Structure 1
Amino acid sequence: MHWHQDLECSDFFQPQDVGIVKISIITAVYNREATIAQAISSVKNQTHADVEHLIIDGASRDGTLAAIEVAWHDRMRFVSEPDEGIYDALNKGIALATGDVVGMMHSDDFFVHDEVLAKVAAAFGKADIMAVYGDLDYVMAEDETRVVRHWRSGTYSPKKLRRGWMPPHPTLFLRREVFERQGLYDMSFRIAADYEAILRYFSREDLRPVYIPEVLVKMRLGGASNRSLMQILHKSREDYRALRKNGIGGLSALAWKNLSKLGQFVVRE
């Protein structure tokens, strides 16, 4: 049986069943000197009491390492070495994480305010909650105040999963034991390993996910999956393979997944 809960803002600071939740945030980075400091600052400024930030650098060749050094704070852990891409870096980070909960902060992204992780931690207040997620805004790379696409996740159901639904990957937080039971990112997927992992986790686990109905993260446009027409076609092929691998659906689910994105471009005021 699958279960979900939709929390209103007033619910977040009610008494909870467990103690303080430690959150590990993982950032995979390669040659992002212009944006990495903001991603780090975004995590540093979170008011939640117990956060670690793992920066997994793929041996950057620009000024990324210098930017990381300037932005350094005592919640950070850092690795810099060649890797096989973003999912290899994220897998390294998960293996190093010591938190009860793991989330991803891409090197171009940032939290919308300083209370995001406090709200996430409160949503994990019951021990049987395995996943928490929220909404995401895509913003222009050169102007982070300009929202060009709004991804409203909505509550989860298995039916939605079969119609191409997924939560925005940068807003998804999972208990560490989900990775331990179901495995890390499948690196045979070069662009869609996050989607494949979400299909695997949501279809194989009773995650009891909690949806926070507000924007948690802003993402700059220009990621690996939407950089060109060829990348978009490659992404669609990998999405289809992920659906088939996990027995979730096929071409109809892929079509629903792509069509559902159209409404995200009707940006709310």
Structure 2
Amino acid sequence: MTQIHPKLSIITIVLNNKSFLKHTIESVINQTYSNIEYIVIDGGSTDGSVELIQSYGSKINTWVSEKDSGIYNAINKGVSLATGEWICILNAGDRLVNENTINHLFKDPISKEIQVVYGDWFLCNLKENPEVLVKGYANLSKGYLLHQSLVYRASLHKNRGPYLETKKLIISDYIFLRSIDEKHYQYVDMAISINDNSGVSSQSWSLEQKVAFDFILGKVSFQYMVKRILFERMPDFSKKIVQLLLKFRSN
């Protein structure tokens, strides 16, 4: 068994997102779990994000502000600075469900065989209505995972290297996580994060990349991949009709 209160490094990346960054920072520094290292990587913001970061003083353990080559380049910078046994990626606009989230996550010792601890989440749109939350349920076999709602061992990067950095790819975290054998995962029956769904990773083409990668791994069939991609390309109204029909059929 590992220690009961392991050190957790939470990494936040941001670029010109001052308004939503405040939500994220507050959710981390107000955690009742004491063994947290907080790292913020700013991509050279000019909207006051840097000044906001500075205003929190010692509550943010490490922060950097400089230009980067993209999302995963920024995350890799944070990973290289992390000293915790576990890592959580919580980007600007995302936040932990409440101040006791990490305490609940680490309330019991975690077996050394477990590399990833994951749970459910809530989605909202900070630009339109941040108060409306939609529950999302993790499902490992179907690839329903969000990096905001899991923690993983930092040692995985020593064995598997950093996140892939390419401009055309927005699922490097998903590729990293799906390459880990499912026997090393542990599900916790709780929502871990509240995530802003107005970001780039929420776009349909991001999900299409994930499904295509799962097909390459042999985790889903060709027919399933095609159906998922076609469904994501439907207008929202058409999606709702299909969902209603499926719900009616199951009842």
Per the TM superposition, whether the score is higher than 0.5 is yes
Answer with 24-33 or 136-145: which moved more: 136-145
Answer with 112-121 or 65-74: which moved more: 65-74
Q: State the distance in 1 between where 2:115 and 2:85 align.
A: 10
Q: Shift of residue 41 of structure 1?
A: 1.1
The answer on 1:223 being equivalent to 2:208 is no
Q: State the distance in 2 between where 1:53 and 1:256 align.
A: 40
The 1:183/1:243 distance shift into structure 2, 3 A limit, reads: farther
Q: Shift of residue 256 of structure 1?
A: 6.8
The gaps in structure 1 that reach 5 residues or longer are: 1-15
Q: State the distance in 1 between where 2:165 and 2:108 align.
A: 30
The gaps in structure 2 that reach 5 residues or longer are: 233-238
Identity score, percent = 25
Report what 1:239 is aligned to: 210
What secondary structure is seen at the aligned counterpart in 2 of 1:65?
helix
Q: Shift of residue 86 of structure 1?
A: 1.0
Letter in 1 for 2:206: K
Q: How does 1:48-67 map to 2 (within 5 A)?
A: 48-67=33-52
Report what 2:179 is aligned to: 200
What secondary structure is seen at the aligned counterpart in 1 of 2:19?
coil
Q: Shift of residue 126 of structure 1?
A: 2.8
TM-score with structure 2 setting the length: 0.81
Report what 2:235 is aligned to: none
The 1:133/1:124 distance shift into structure 2, 3 A limit, reads: farther
Q: How does 1:1-269 map to 2 (within 5 A)?
A: 18-141=3-126, 142-147=128-133, 149-154=134-139, 156=140, 160=141, 164-188=142-166, 190-202=169-181, 206-207=183-184, 209-226=185-202, 231-232=203-204, 234-243=205-214, 246-249=217-220, 251-255=222-226
Q: Is the 8 A contact 1:240 1:251 kept in 2?
A: no
Letter in 2 for 1:199: R
TM-score with structure 1 setting the length: 0.76
Give CA deviations for 1:158-207 in whole Å, capped at 9, x if unaligned.
xx2xxx4232221111011122212221123531212212211246xx41
RMSD, matched Cα: 2.7
By relative contact order (CA 8 Å, sep 6+), the higher-ranking structure is 1
Letter in 2 for 1:171: S
The 1:41/1:73 distance shift into structure 2, 3 A limit, reads: farther
Q: Shift of residue 73 of structure 1?
A: 3.5
What secondary structure is seen at the aligned counterpart in 2 of 1:107?
coil
Q: State the distance in 2 between where 1:197 and 1:17 align.
A: 23
Q: State the distance in 2 between where 1:124 and 1:255 align.
A: 41
Report what 2:236 is aligned to: none
Q: Is the 8 A contact 1:109 1:220 kept in 2?
A: yes
What secondary structure is seen at the aligned counterpart in 1 of 2:3?
coil
Letter in 2 for 1:254: M
